[in-house]
Structure 1
């Protein structure tokens, strides 16, 4: 049985096709603020795959999500859109108003926080760097920081007379020129923030997102676990626990 999983973020649309719990196809494209148009272009391809069900994670507004759902109904299969709940599958949300928590963060915590005896720190190293904490099945809330590139862009825009071209975030040593000082300083700040959180409250560290491997290199003391498809795992778990799931 083939299933389609969609992750619609602020800038990119990702999809996975799974069969018998194995990923058989994966794609990711920038949607340029028009995810529905991008999805429309993919629909013919999805129709040919004999998809049996669809699971969706979307950070878009209500109107955009309704449009996405209408498009997916053309596949004539069950469509389940993940939502943040005050409590779901035993996991309690730490936000006072659960709907304000990003669905991507919720699914990533849901993917790992299934053992009441363990404490977790789940970090997504994507467009923003998000940190979520969970004690057993209780989500505690978290932190959102600008990622490496957002911080660099802010410096470029707000620092007169200093040109900061792209360069590698490759070490934490003091920079011996302005370009290295910027890149090493930004990386140091984010790594130090993570270390502060972990020092305050030791817990199992799970990293995901495009820069997860980079941060793992500097957080080896905490034995990080890198999970490239953590959101997919959370979406699959959400789907498996959903009362309307007939798969």
Structure 2
């Protein structure tokens, strides 16, 4: 961790730099606000936006899986106060994971944001470009998870490998099994995805016992309707976990 202090009253911009996009959020009172209505896809676009709003934020907190993007942003924003959070900032006793150096910090942060809202273990499904399904116990120990293609990954594979097949909506047909090509494809895409996720959730319950289910990511609401299982949709989980971790690290200094 670098360049931080104990002043928690400052307005802070939180950045989640993933493999395919950069997302930003900040708080107004207790409410989270997105940086823009659309995802920011490049470091240059982000830097330009921040430079057009130079007095908006006193500090910028970055959690990133892309060192090159982080370095580029920090270089261009050298006059801003930057706090970089990496996996090395996570207390080692909270990581029951064999290869912390390869862990995408967003996976930990989503779970950490969820356990801050309950006294139970949590399973967090982040439904984005990829779907991650991770578990953290009630003592904030991260136990790992599963990575599968995102909701649209299945249809993209078929469209590339079998372009003659028709495009179908991502939904579960009313009749089982599919009695026509369109419904057969729907079962193969939405149904296969649902069965896989449900099976993983059942495995977690068998291994770890009861938990609360949290959904986040761009396709969280689609997944919510698909699973028909009690869950909490929290679009800002990564930022909530990032804020929680930063505040705890500041308190220790």
- TM-score normalized by the length of structure 2: 0.81
Q: Distance in 1 between matches of 2:201 and 2:245?
A: 27
Q: 8 Å contact 1:91–1:139 — kept in the other structure?
A: no
Q: 1:171 to 1:109 in 2, by over 3 A?
A: same
**Residues 105-151 of structure 1, C-alpha deviation per residue, up to 9 Å, x if partnerless?**
11101112348962211100001010001222221111000112121
SS at 1:5's partner residue?
Answer: strand
Q: Distance in 2 between matches of 1:176 and 1:164?
A: 15
Aligned match of 2:126: 124
1:240 aligns with 2:243: no
Q: 8 Å contact 1:91–1:114 — kept in the other structure?
A: no
Q: Distance in 2 between matches of 1:226 and 1:115?
A: 12
Q: 1:242 to 1:143 in 2, by over 3 A?
A: same
Deviation at 1:245, TM superposition (A): 9.0
Count of aligned pairs between the two proteins: 235
Q: Unaligned regions of 5+ residues in structure 2, if any?
A: 1-9, 206-210
1:11 aligns with 2:2: no
Worse overlay, 62-71 or 102-111: 62-71
User: Which structure has greater strand proportion?
Assistant: 1
Q: Unaligned regions of 5+ residues in structure 1, if any?
A: none
RMSD: 2.6
Q: Distance in 2 between matches of 1:53 and 1:37?
A: 18
Q: 1:86 to 1:242 in 2, by over 3 A?
A: closer
Q: 1:187 to 1:66 in 2, by over 3 A?
A: same
- TM-score normalized by the length of structure 1: 0.83
Aligned match of 2:62: 56
Q: Distance in 2 between matches of 1:211 and 1:47?
A: 32
Aligned match of 2:201: 198
Q: 1:37 to 1:127 in 2, by over 3 A?
A: same
- Highest RCO, 1 vs 2 (Cα 8 Å, sep ≥ 6): 2
1:210 aligns with 2:210: no
SS at 1:192's partner residue?
Answer: helix
